[in-house]
A and B are shown apart, each in its own frame.
Chain A
C-alpha cells in the first residue's frame, strides 16, 4: 500500500508538471496562431501608429471591415475588433489605444449587431483583452487551457480543414474566402433603436469619443436575411441617457443588404467573407468621403 501511495504521489507530481508545461505550450500556440490573439498582440506593439480610422466591434466587424482596402483608398486604418467582444471590451481597447499612442484616429467605426446579442451591456471583458490588460491580476481562473478553450477548438478546425486554414489576418481584419450561403428568409422587423439608446456602455463609448474629438460612426452590421430589418439605412441620430448623441447607419436594412449575394458573400451566421467585406467596405469608403466633404 505504501509503495502504491508513493507511486501515486509521483504520478501527481508528474501530472502537475505536465499540466503547467501543457498550459505554457498552449498559451504560446494560441498567442502565435489564434487570429484574435494575434490581432490583440499586434495592436499592443504598434510603432507610432498614425491610423486615421479604427474599427471596433465583435466578430462581424472583425470579418467585414476591409482595412487594407480602406488604407488603399487613403484611410490608413486598423481593425481592432475581436470575436466575442462586448461593448465594454471595445471601450477598454479604445481607451488603451489612446493611452498608449499619441496619434488619435479621426474616425472610429463601431460595428454592432442588435439582433445577435441580448444586450449591449454585458459586463464581461473578452479573455484576450483581459489577460493582456496592464492592470490585470492573474488568478487560477486564468489557466490558459480553460480560459482560451474555444481557441483550441478553432485551431483544431484549422488543423483539419483547408478552408479554415486559408483565413488571413490583414491589418486586423480576418479574411475568409469560403462561402456558407444564407438560406434564411427576410421578416418584417424594425431596428430596435432603444437597444442602442438604453445601453450604458454604448453611451460611454459615444461620450469617450466626443470628449476626445473623435468622429464616431455606429454601424448596425449587415447580417443574414432573418436578422435584417425594414428600417431605413439612415443616417439616424440616436441619443443616450448621458445626453450625448451619435450617428447610426443601419447597414442591416433589407434595402442596403440586398447587395450581398447569398452564395458568394457570406462565411456563415451573418458574417461576411472577403468578397462581402469588399462590397461593404466600398460603401464605408463612400460614406467617409461624404463626411470628409462635409467637414
Chain B
C-alpha cells in the first residue's frame, strides 16, 4: 500500500478509531497485525522474513545479559544483522563480483528479488541499536515478543523511518494508551502537513528532478544549475513530508516517534546541519558508530575524533546505497565536519568582526550550497553521472530564471517559500512566531472557522494535486 495515498490515510484513521475502541490489552497486538498486513501488502515473503528477523534479535536480546559468552553472542548478533543487510541490499556490489571472478553464474542479489527487502536499512539499524543497548546495559531486554515485533515493524515508520530507538519506542507500549483527543488531532494535523509537503511541493518538483537525472547528457547547463540549487529543497520536502506523515499517524495511536527534521537550512555549519537533517539517522550513527569509535581510539587524542568522523560518515554514505557515489557523499560530509573542527579558531578570528546577521547568513548559504553539491552524488546513479552533471554545468544556454519558470510549478515554489518563511520566523524571530501561533489558535473570534477553512483548502489541494502519487526518495533504502 502506498503511504502517500488517500486509501492509506483513510485506513490509518479507521484503524485509529478501532484501536481506541478495543480493549487496551489487545492494542499492541492489533497494531502488530496491522503492521504485518502493511508489510505483506508489499511482498508476502517479506512478512515471514521480518518475523524471523525480529524473533532472532528478540531471542538474542533475552539471552545476552546472562550469557557466559556475552562477547561472542553480541558479535554474532551484530554479524547476523549486518550479513542479512549485505546479502539483501549490497550483494550486487559486495558479493556477486566475487562469484564473477570465479566465473560462476550464481547471483546472491537474486535473493532480493524474491524477498523484496523494503525498509531493510531502517529495521536493521533498529535491530543493531537494540542489541547494542542491551549489551551496554542501557536497556533491559524486551520480554514481550509482540512489543518487539511492533518495534521493528510499526507501519508508519517501517518504510523510511524515523530510525527509532528501542529505549524510546518500547516503553511507550507499556503505557496505557487512553484516547486523547488533543494527541489524535495533533497527529492528524502533522500528517496533513506531511501530505502537503510531499504532494503539493515535492511531487510537483519531481518530474523536473527525475527527468533531468535520467538524461543528464542532454540537459543544458541552466537546468543543471537550477537542479543543483533545488535538490536540497526537493529532498527536504519529499523526506520531511513522509516523516511528518509517519510521525502524525503514529501519534494518532499515542506513539511519539523521534523527530527527523528541525529547520535544517537554517544551520550555520555542516556539523549543525546534521543535527537538524535526518536527525534520527545521523544521531544513530553518532551514538553507535562515532562515539564507540572515539572511545576505542581514545589514545589517539584529537585524531581519534577525526578518524571516527571519517569512519562514521563513510558508513553513513554506504548506508544510502551500494556505489562509489554514496561513499563520496559520506566522504564529503566527513571532510567538511573535520574541516570545521580543525579550523574553528581560525574561522572565529576571521569572521568574528563580521556583523552577526552577515555571519549567520553566509554560513547558512555555504551549508546549503555544500549540501546541494553533495546531493548531486546522492541522486546520480554513479560517479560517471556525477562527472557528466558537473561538466554540463559549464554550458549555460538558456536564462536560469526562464528554466525555473518553465520547469517548476509556481504553486510548489510559493508553498515551499511559505514553509521557509514560517521556519525563518520560528528560528530567528521567535516572538513574532509566537504571535502568529496565538493568532492561529485563539487570537480572535473566527479563528476556528479560519483554521478549518485552511485545512479544507489543503485537502482540496491534495485532491487536485494528488492524482499521481509518487514514491518518496528514502523508500529505496
A residues within 8 Å of B by Cβ?
Answer: 1, 3-5, 7, 11, 14-15, 18-19, 22, 145-146, 149, 152-153, 156-157, 160-161, 180, 183, 268
| Residue of A4, A145, A180 touching B181 (CB-CB under 8 A) | A4
B464 touching A146, Cβ below 8 Å: yes
Instruction: Indicate whether B453 reaches chain A with its CB closer than 8 angstroms.
Output: yes
Some 22 contacts from A to B, beta carbons below 8 A apart, are: A1-B20, A1-B179, A4-B179, A4-B181, A4-B184, A5-B17, A15-B456, A18-B453, A18-B456, A18-B460, A19-B459, A19-B460, A22-B456, A22-B457, A145-B464, A146-B463, A152-B464, A153-B409, A153-B410, A156-B410, A157-B410, A180-B402
**Taking the complex as formed, is B397 at the interface, i.e. its CB lies under 8 A from any CB of chain A?**
yes
Q: How far is the CA of A153 from the CA of B48 in the complex (A)?
A: 47
The 9 closest A-B pairs by CB, nearest first: A18-B456, A15-B456, A4-B181, A1-B179, A145-B464, A14-B452, A156-B410, A149-B464, A22-B460
Closest residue of A by beta carbon distance from B20: A1
Separation of A157 and B457 alpha carbons in the complex (Å): 20
B124–chain A nearest beta-carbon distance, Å: 38
Q: Is B351 an interface residue (CB 8 A)?
A: no
Q: Indicate if the CB atoms of A156 and B411 lie closer than 8 Å.
A: yes
Q: Which of B21, B181, B456 contacts A14 (CB 8 A)?
A: B456
* A9 → chain B closest CB, angstroms: 12
Closest Cβ neighbor of A1 among chain B residues: B179
Cβ–Cβ < 8 Å partners of A157 in chain B = 410
What residues on B are CB-neighbors of A180 within 8 Å?
402
Q: Are A153 and B411 in contact (CB under 8 A)?
A: yes
DSSP majority for the A interface?
helix
Task: Check: B387 CB closer than 8 A to any chain A CB.
Answer: no
Q: Are A145 and B463 in contact (CB under 8 A)?
A: yes
Kindly list chain B residues whose C-beta atoms are within 8 Å of the C-beta of A152: 464
Contact across chains for A160 and B410 when beta carbons are under 8 A apart: yes
Chain A residues with CB below 8 A from B21, complex form: 1
B440 part of interface (Cβ distance < 8 Å): no
- Among residues of B, the one whose C-beta sits closest to the C-beta of A19 is B460
Q: Give A143's nearest chain B residue, CB to CB.
A: B463
Q: What is the bound-complex CA distance between A224 and B129, given in angstroms?
A: 59
Bound Cα distance A160, B402 (Å) = 14
Is B145 engaged at the interface, CB distance under 8 Å to the other chain?
no
CB A109 to nearest CB in B, in angstroms, measures 29
Which residues in A have their C-beta under 8 angstroms from that of B425?
Answer: none
Q: Which residue of A lies closest to B409 (CB)?
A: A153
Q: Does B49 make an interface contact (CB < 8 A)?
A: no
Tell me which residues across on chain A come within 8 A of B463, comparing CB atoms. 19, 145-146
Q: Does B98 contact A (CB under 8 A)?
A: no
Q: What residues of A have a CB within 8 angstroms of the CB of B455 in the complex?
A: 11, 15
* Chain B residues, CB < 8 A from A146: 463-464, 467
Which residue of B398, B405, B457, B460 is within 8 Å of A183 (Cβ)?
B398
For chain B, residues 60 to 98, give those with C-beta under 8 angstroms from any C-beta of chain A: none
B184 / chain A contacts, CB cutoff of 8 Å: 4
User: Quick check: A19 and B464 within 8 Å, CB to CB?
Assistant: no
Task: Give the docked Cα–Cα distance between A18 and B452 (Å).
Answer: 9
A149 to B462, CA, bound (A): 12
Chain A residues positioned under 8 Å from B406 (CB to CB): 268
CA distance A11 to B455 in the complex (A): 10
By beta carbon, the residue of chain A nearest B13 is: A8
* Docked CA distance A25–B184 (Å): 32
Given contacts A4-B179, A145-B464, A183-B398, is CB(A18)–CB(B410) below 8 Å?
no
Report the Cα distance A18→B17, complex, angstroms: 25
The complex places the Cα of A180 from the Cα of B399 at a distance, in Å, of 10
CA distance A153 to B411 in the complex (A): 7
**Do A3 and B410 contact each other (CB < 8 Å), given the known contacts A14-B452, A146-B463?**
no
Chain A residues near B20 (CB-CB < 8 A): 1
Q: How many Å lie between the Cα of A69 and that of B185 in the bound state?
A: 61
Q: Please, how many angstroms separate the alpha-carbon atoms of A90 and B113 in the complex? A: 49
Knowing A4-B184, A153-B409, A183-B397, say if A11 contacts B460 (CB, 8 Å).
no
Q: A4-B179, A146-B463, A146-B464 are in contact. Are A15 and B452 (CB under 8 A)?
A: yes
List CB contacts (< 8 Å) of B378-434 with chain A: 397-398, 402, 405-406, 409-411, 414
The B431-477 residues at the A interface (CB cut-off 8 A) are 452-453, 455-457, 459-460, 463-464, 467
CB distance from B299 to the nearest CB of A (A): 59
A18 and chain B: residue at smallest CB distance:
B456
Q: Which residues from chain A contact B405 at a C-beta distance below 8 Å?
A: 161
Complex Cα distance, B461 from A22, in Å, reads 11
CB neighbours (8 Å) of B453 from chain A are 18
In the assembled complex, the Cα of A149 lies from the Cα of B457 at a distance in Å of 15
Partner of A15 from B17, B185, B398, B459 at Cβ < 8 Å: B459
Residue of B nearest to A268 (CB): B406
Query: Once bound together, how far apart are the Cα atoms of A152 and B184, in whole Å?
Result: 34
Which residues of the partner chain A approach B409 to less than 8 Å between Cβ atoms? 153
B457:A18 contact, CB within 8 angstroms: yes
Q: For the complex, what is the distance from the CA of A18 to the CA of B414, rounded to whole Å?
A: 23
State A19–B453 Cα separation when bound (angstroms): 10
Question: CB-nearest residue of chain B relative to A163?
Answer: B405
Contacts of B402 in A (CB 8 A): 180
CB A177 to nearest CB in B, in angstroms, measures: 16
Chain A nearest CB, measured from B10 CB (Å): 12
Assembly CA distance A152 to B409 (angstroms): 11
Closest beta carbon of chain A to B208's beta carbon, Å? 14
B410 to chain A, nearest CB (A): 5
Name A149's closest neighbour in chain B (CB-CB): B464
Residues in B neighbouring A22, C-beta threshold 8 A: 456-457, 460
Q: Are A19 and B411 in contact (CB under 8 A)?
A: no
Contacts of A4 in B (CB 8 A): 179, 181, 184-185
Distance between Cα atoms of A15 and B452 in the complex (Å): 8
Q: Whole-angstrom distance from the CB of B450 to the nearest CB of chain A?
A: 12
A3 and B456 contacting across the interface, CB-CB below 8 Å = no
Q: Which residues of B contact A161 (CB under 8 A)?
A: 405
The interface centre, meaning the residue of A4, A5, A146, A268 with most chain B CB atoms within 10 A of its CB, is A4
Residues in chain A near residue B179, CB distance under 8 A: 1, 4
Which residues does chain B contribute within 8 Å of A1, judged by CB atoms?
20-21, 179
Question: Mask for B34-54, Cβ within 8 A of A = 1, else 0?
Answer: 000000000000000000000
A7 to B414, CA, bound (A): 32
Query: Which B residues lie within 8 Å of A145 (CB)?
Result: 460, 463-464
Interface centre among B185, B464, B467 (most CB of A within 10 A): B464
User: How far is B459's CA from A145's CA once the two chains are assembled, in angstroms?
Assistant: 12
Q: Distance in Å from the Cβ of A59 to the closest Cβ of chain B?
A: 15
Q: Mark B320-357, 1 if CB is under 8 A from A, else 0.
A: 00000000000000000000000000000000000000
Q: How far is the CA of A146 from the CA of B179 in the complex (A)?
A: 37
Q: From B17, B397, B456, give the contact of A19 (CB < 8 A).
A: B456
List the A side residues contacting B398 at CB < 8 Å: 183
Contacts of B181 in A (CB 8 A): 3-4, 7
Docked CA distance A78–B204 (Å)? 37
Q: Give Cα A14 to B453, complex, Å.
A: 8
Q: How far is the CB of B141 from the nearest CB of chain A, in Å?
A: 35
A180 to B17, CA, bound (A): 55
